[in-house]
Amino acid sequence: MVRTQLYLSDDMYKTLKEKAKKNNMTFAAYVRVKLEPEMDESDKKKTLYQKFPFMKYAGMFKGEISPDELTNEAIDKAIYDL
């Protein structure tokens, strides 16, 4: 997974942040979900582990999540709430 920086208008950021909260998602997870349709068909069929091999270990060292519980929100928690 690559960490990136985006420049968004204040209005766009506020709207996306509100929509993420309304959907009970982190901002990063919401943006990833919204960008997913832009991926080509072969990439859409890949699992999280195929796309991001290191993610199978995210949060597992602390015993916080199992591979079956890996969601966008769990990934964000494992990565950013260290």
pLDDT in tens, 61-72: 555 556 666 677
Whether the pLDDT of residue 30 is over 80: the answer is yes
Among 65, 4, 8, which residue's Cα sits nearest to residue 32? 4
Residue 59 to residue 50: CA distance in whole angstroms: 17
What pLDDT is stored for residue 76 in this prediction? 73
* Closest-CA residue to 12 (of 20, 2, 3, 4): 20
Q: What is the pTM of this model?
A: 0.52
Considering the chain, what is the average pLDDT of its residues? 75
Which of the pair, 2 or 25, is modelled with greater confidence?
25
**Mean pLDDT along residues 24-38:** 86
